[in-house]
């Protein structure tokens, strides 16, 4: 095997053999896409999108919550969806965005038909919005809203015939056919567990599910073609490189499984991280690099031919994954409940929330250069021991409804007291 890998590596261009990273985000990586020109775009929990050139980012700031999915099929136009329920259409040259549609729940996926005439967005509100894409970032058309699933829609994908497929937390995979205003659907798979991801090719469809199921079926009949289900769950990401026939599968236990769709065999099974999920995958245009993201604020690029030569790289230093008995309780509460969104350092931060440095005695909504929600602009809240205790006692959704803070409750008074003591020790001005 080592000799074979060496021979393969000698045959590849030098650039394709390099392990690379993209560093700069302030939170976990939720989505990755690559344009036809080779530019990598990344979506993050830090509410931002990164456009990467020569390893350096251009930041697109427009979402008011985590950016969960993106699609670069219409480059230079970029489509993004977020936990703020919105689908944004970006003019990447001007770094400006236009709201294309707004769901009633998190946007989980965006798909473009192969002829470029239709766009579909999936949401946890249980609907699909069907629209006509446009390079004009000021064009607005009302979406056709498709109903049919009984719970959140996690994935959408178009077939070359124009048919639309969708996978849902209700455990079904549906095919939608007809004209946009009169589309009808039928379930071709009743998986039983939620379906998270879809890839559609001309004569097959691959899907990944919550129970670890990775299956390939006929896109019309639903007949099983191949089953790559392993005892690893859930399946969280899929990527396909059409020219080389590679399919990459990322799961909740940190593995990237590479499938050869020409032979329907597992070509490689690589452990990318010892702890934590693989949330995002994308191939480079030549299919020789697989880009991956997860709990880290770093995007990793591995040469596909040499995957078996690498040790796990993702998720090595995430403090919230450390064993509970290695940290005092106050630090543990901060690491588990606050550290993904907030820094303790003085100065600007790329995390989703403002820095907590100097938080005690500070009026809410006043950290310079941070884009607060309207709720906190002009708020009369001042952060003290009492207000921070109340915030986590009832949860941000009740204490400051309408803010960007996710629902987070610390039920035990002692846990809240320990967190406050940790914050007072580690956020003091001039420390």
- Residue 80 is predicted with a pLDDT of 98
Name, in order, each residue with C-beta under 8 angstroms of 8's C-beta and a sequence gap of 6 or more.
Answer: 305, 306
Structure tokens, 11: 């045959």
- Residue 428 is predicted with a pLDDT of 81
SS3 label, residue 163: coil
Quickly count: other Cβ atoms within 10 Å of residue 70's Cβ. Answer: 25
Q: For domain 13-309, which CATH number applies: 2.120.10.30, 3.20.20.450, 2.130.10.10, 3.10.350.10?
A: 2.130.10.10
Q: Under a CB-based contact definition with an 8 Å cutoff, are residues 272 and 256 in contact?
A: yes
Q: Count Cα neighbours of 191 within 13 Å in the Cβ-side half-sphere.
A: 30
Q: What pTM was computed for the model? A: 0.86
What burial class does residue 257 get, using C-beta atoms within 10 Å of its C-beta: 0-12 exposed, 13-18 middle, 19+ buried?
A: buried
CATH of domain 319-426: 1.10.760.10
Domain boundary assignment for the chain: 13-309, 319-426
- Residue 376 is predicted with a pLDDT of 82
pLDDT tens string, the chain, 431 residues long: the values are: 333 333 334 344 444 468 999 999 999 999 999 999 999 999 999 999 999 999 999 999 999 999 999 999 988 999 999 999 999 999 999 999 999 999 999 999 999 999 988 999 999 999 999 998 765 545 557 899 999 999 999 999 999 999 999 999 999 999 999 988 889 999 999 999 999 999 999 999 999 999 999 999 999 889 999 999 998 999 999 999 999 999 999 999 999 999 999 999 999 999 999 888 999 999 999 999 999 999 999 999 999 999 989 988 886 655 555 566 678 998 888 888 888 889 898 877 888 888 999 999 999 989 888 888 878 877 889 999 999 989 998 888 888 887 877 778 898 999 899 899 999 999 886 54
DSSP secondary structure of 287-302: SSEEEEEESSSEEEEE
- Residue 351 is predicted with a pLDDT of 86
Structure tokens, 151: 């719970």
Comparing CA positions, the residue from 266, 258, 265, 253 lying closest to residue 312 is: 253
Name, in order, each residue with C-beta under 8 angstroms of 76's C-beta and a sequence gap of 6 or more.
Answer: 35, 91, 92, 93
SS3 content of the chain, % helix, strand, coil (to 5): 15, 40, 45
Judge whether 13-309 and 319-426 match in fold: no
Q: Which residue has the tokens 């994954």?
A: 321
């Amino acid at each position: 095997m080592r000799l074979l890998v060496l021979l393969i590596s000698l045959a590849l261009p030098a650039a394709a053999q390099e392990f690379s990273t993209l560093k700069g985000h302030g939170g976990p990586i939720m989505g990755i896409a690559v344009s036809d020109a080779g530019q990598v775009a990344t979506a993050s929990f830090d509410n931002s999108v990164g456009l990467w050139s020569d390893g350096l980012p251009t930041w697109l700031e427009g979402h008011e919550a985590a950016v969960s999915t993106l699609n670069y099929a219409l480059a230079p136009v970029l489509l993004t969806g977020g936990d703020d329920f919105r689908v944004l259409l970006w003019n990447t040259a001007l770094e400006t965005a236009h709201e294309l549609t707004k769901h009633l729940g998190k946007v989980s996926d965006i798909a473009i038909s192969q002829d470029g005439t239709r766009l579909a967005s999936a949401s946890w509100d249980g609907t699909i919005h069907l629209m006509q894409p446009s390079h004009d970032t000021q064009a607005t058309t009302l979406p056709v809203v498709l109903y049919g699933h009984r719970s959140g829609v996690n994935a959408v994908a178009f077939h070359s015939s124009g048919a639309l497929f969708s996978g849902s937390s209700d455990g079904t995979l549906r095919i939608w056919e007809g004209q946009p205003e009169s589309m009808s659907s039928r379930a071709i798979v009743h998986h039983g567990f939620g379906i998270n991801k879809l890839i559609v090719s001309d004569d097959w469809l691959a899907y990944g599910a919550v129970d670890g199921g990775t299956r390939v079926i006929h896109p019309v009949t639903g007949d099983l073609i191949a089953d790559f289900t392993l005892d690893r769950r859930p399946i969280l990401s899929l990527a396909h490189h059409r020219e080389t026939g590679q399919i990459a599968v990322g799961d909740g236990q940190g593995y990237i499984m590479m499938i050869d769709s020409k032979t329907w065999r597992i070509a490689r099974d690589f452990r990318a991280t010892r702890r934590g999920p693989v949330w995002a995958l994308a191939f480079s245009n030549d299919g020789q690099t697989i880009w991956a993201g997860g709990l880290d604020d770093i995007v990793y690029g591995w040469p596909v031919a040499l995957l078996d030569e690498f040790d796990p790289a993702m998720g090595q230093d995430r403090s919230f994954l450390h064993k509970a008995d290695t940290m005092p309780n106050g630090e543990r509460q901060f690491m588990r409940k606050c550290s993904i969104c907030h820094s303790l350092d003085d100065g600007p931060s790329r995390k989703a929330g403002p820095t907590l440095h100097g938080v005690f005695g500070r009026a809410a909504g006043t950290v310079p250069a941070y884009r607060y929600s309207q709720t906190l602009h002009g708020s009369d809240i001042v952060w003290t021991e009492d207000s921070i205790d109340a915030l986590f006692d009832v949860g941000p959704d009740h204490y400051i409804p309408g803010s960007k803070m996710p629902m987070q409750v610390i039920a035990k008074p002692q846990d809240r007291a320990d967190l406050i003591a940790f914050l007072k020790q580690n956020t003091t001005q001039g420390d």
